Chains A and B, each alone.
Chain A
């Protein structure tokens, strides 16, 4: 089976940097995804990591360490609109390649 853990909620200040961690256990790791979901809306794709290291996309970066079963999403220059839930998901080739999601981290950005 799989176990994906991320903090339930986090609070940060506008303009600051926040790091959202995700740990996972899987038998056939084949990629890790981060999604953003605003309340009442669809999840939207943010980033994908399959090799170790950092992937940067504007204000958002995502890091992966396969040996540690660990990833983080880094959000810089936080804006109020970044208040949302951030979902970590793992693709497991032994699970038919479907994405398995963590429970999500609810991020609140305060002025």
Chain B
């Protein structure tokens, strides 16, 4: 049973380009969370999705950021017109109904560097 898969592991973008980060949850998990982690800081919640629905996007910046979790395929976090401040590690986590004791399972993250 593969864990949470994120790709790419490292992504370099020039200012103004678009970044697409992908996350495939664990098999059988229908809840996906995206978190951002700046150097020396904790994980900051961005968005919570279930298949085809955004449940909570209270942590998403209002502009340039969007997320989706289609019926088929991975969840995508999209950052348009990236700026240097977007440089961070972006972690995806998945959760299955009935997994209350086990918490989230995190992917290995995508480290975005904006140059």
A-to-B contact residues, CB < 8 Å: 31, 33, 35, 40-45, 48, 50, 87, 89, 95-96, 98-104
A41-B108, A48-B102 known; A96-B42 Cβ under 8 A: no
Instruction: Specify which of B100, B101, B106 is in contact with A44 (CB 8 Å cutoff).
Output: B106
CA distance A105 to B101 in the complex (A): 22
CA distance A35 to B55 in the complex (A): 24
CA distance A104 to B40 in the complex (A): 9
CA distance A58 to B109 in the complex (A): 28
A31-B100, A96-B48, A96-B56 known; A101-B42 Cβ under 8 A: yes
A31-B100, A103-B41, A103-B42 known; A98-B105 Cβ under 8 A: no
A contact residues around B41 at 8 Å (CB) = 103-104
**Of residues B104, B107, B108, B109, which shows the largest number of chain A Cβ atoms within 10 Å of its Cβ?**
B104
Evaluate contact between A100 and B45: CB separation under 8 angstroms: yes
Nearest residue in B to A85 (C-beta to C-beta)?
B42
A contact residues around B101 at 8 Å (CB) = 48
